[in-house]
Amino acid sequence: MRQFIPFVEKPPLIAVVRLQGAIGVGARGMSDAGMASAIERAFGRGKPVAIALQINSPGGSPTQSALIAARIRRLADEKNVPVSAFVEDIAASGGYWLATAADEIIVDANSITGSIGVISASFGLHEFIGKHGIERRVHAAGQSKSFMDPFRPEKPEDVERLGALQKVIHANFIDQVKARRGSKLREGVDLFTGDIWVGRQAVDVGLADAVGHLVPTMKERFGEKTRFSVHGPKRGLLRRLGAEAMNGVVGAVEDRAMWARFGL
């Protein structure tokens, strides 16, 4: 009944945005388009005193990571609301990019953070298809159109070009971390090799600010009566009924591979 009584001050509200899973545009991937409504709701409903990002992601698409992080920062600046990131199991690679959207990053003692780098993985299948009598036929206009074709022998010039592209993305990632973390980053430590840090190690090198958990941290700051509203992507009816089962299986395999890179 409190909400219907005028002039009665409501307890502080913390809007929690769940950023969970691999980042990408597939059936299971976390994308800017998929997260947009949840992020907008978090900033726009109930006049929250702060936004808490609940992150558990091994990374994925650098573009989608940048778009989601930029959306959060844009709304934080427009609404003048502080943002805190709380890392669960992992915020690595693109997952850490998301964490940099916050004004502070808080981790669990066992959280994995970092992996500030760029990776590309595929398979070389040209010998396999040759042994099975399969002929690869590709017709392209443009000498680079069949770049890194997994059904053809790897070309040194393709590897060199891929490395150049990765350097551009890596530089953008580094710029994001430096812009958001600034003087918090420890000098004399190379944080951009793709290495990872666990718990307090991340705090020690400046990739995180403290060890803690979402609810107790926010209640300590805003009081025991602090309210929490949780916002995440909404699944359509067809997805809930399992109509995308095949895509889900493929996506699950891809997700499993990403988590496995970090021993999770």
d(CA 118, CA 212): 29
Is 145 a catalytic site residue? yes
d(CA 166, CA 181): 22
Q: Which two tokens stand for residue 159?
A: 């590897």
CB atoms near residue 33 (< 10 Å): 11
Instruction: Please enumerate in sequence order all residues whose Cβ is within 8 A of that of 190, keeping only pairs 6 or more positions apart, or say none.
Output: none
Q: Decide if 54 contacts 17 (C-beta within 8 A).
A: yes
Sign of torsion over alpha carbons 128, 132, 135, 138: negative
> Which residue in the list 57, 65, 93, 115 is annotated as catalytic?
93
d(CA 182, CA 43): 25
Is 167 a catalytic site residue? no
> Which residue in the list 145, 155, 167, 234 is annotated as catalytic?
145
Q: Decide if 57 contacts 20 (C-beta within 8 A).
A: yes
Pinpoint the alpha helices (H) of 132-263: 156-181, 200-205, 214-222, 237-240, 245-260
Would you name the residues annotated as active-site residues? 93, 145
